[in-house]
Structure 1
Amino acid sequence: MKKIFWGLVAVLVIIIGAGCVWYKVNYGTAPYYVQLTQDGKSEKINYNNGTSGTLYRYNLTGYDKSGKSQQVKLIESRILKHDAYLKVAYSKKENVISWEEVKKLEVPVAALKN
């Protein structure tokens, strides 16, 4: 009886561990740094409630703290400040999850070199 119990516990631990790894690979984020050197492309949208709005799409090259590049797509409902530095949380599955403006001094040197 004990062998069956511990066998089930081991299987459960393996399933939970595999699920955590899968989630981190697909939805985990990594910080990348981008500089807004171009304006976003505007796109008019209509919401289900009858109102309309504008989205701005930015296709940028981001760099991690070691200088490795990654194409990132940022969609925002407002125009972002030109030449600003952003720290974005990038996910392979969802692209940019969140972002915050940072000062140039806060950007790692390897990311600035590119």
Structure 2
Amino acid sequence: MKKVFLGIGALFLLFVAGLVVLMTVDFNRLNKEAYYVHITTDGDIEEYKLDSGEIMKMYWYEIPAYDENGKEQTLKFSAHKNLRHDAYMKLYVKKETEVTSYDEVKFNELPAKVQELMKK
């Protein structure tokens, strides 16, 4: 009988641990390459209508981005709001061009080579 309760307890602990991992890990950022951009203009607006009739806006950006070594690549990504001018963004990229997520960062949080390139 003790073995049954131990088995059920172990399964419960595994279930709880799995839930914690699913709630805390952002899989859009896990094992992705980081690129950095400087937002200087508004995004191109794309409007679309939902089934409910509500109109949604998507803001598209296509700008040069730099990896931590200073390698430049033009990336295209979208945001649900117009990003703040003069903001520095860290983009999470998979398959070289697919942006899965982004965060705003401060200039001093950028890698040194990226800081040099963005000062120009």
Which runs of 5 or more structure 1 residues have no equivalent in the other structure? 1-27
Q: Does the aligned pair in 2 maintain the 1:36–1:84 contact within 8 Å? A: yes
Which runs of 5 or more structure 2 residues have no equivalent in the other structure? 1-30
In the alignment, the residues of structure 2 paired with residue 94 and residue 66 of structure 1 have an alpha-carbon distance, to the nearest angstrom, of 17
The equivalences for 1:25-40 within 5 A come to: 29-40=32-43
Q: Does the aligned pair in 1 maintain the 2:75–2:97 contact within 8 Å? A: no
Q: Which moved more, 1:32-41 or 1:45-54?
A: 45-54
Q: CA deviation at 1:94?
A: 6.4
The equivalences for 1:1-114 within 5 A come to: 29-92=32-95, 95-114=98-117
TM-score (norm 1): 0.70
Q: Does the aligned pair in 2 maintain the 1:72–1:90 contact within 8 Å? A: no
94 and 61 in structure 1: CA distance in 2 versus 1, 3 angstrom threshold: closer
Tell me the C-alpha RMSD between the 2 structures: 1.9
Q: Which runs of 4+ in 1 moved over 4 A?
A: none
TM-score (norm 2): 0.66
Q: Deviations over 1:10-43 (max 9, x none)?
A: xxxxxxxxxxxxxxxxxx5200011001210111
Q: Deviations over 1:43-90 (max 9, x none)?
A: 111123322111110111110111011111121111110010001101
Q: CA deviation at 1:113?
A: 2.3
Equivalent pairs, count = 88
In the alignment, the residues of structure 1 paired with residue 52 and residue 99 of structure 2 have an alpha-carbon distance, to the nearest angstrom, of 26
Aligned residue for 2:53, secondary structure, equals coil
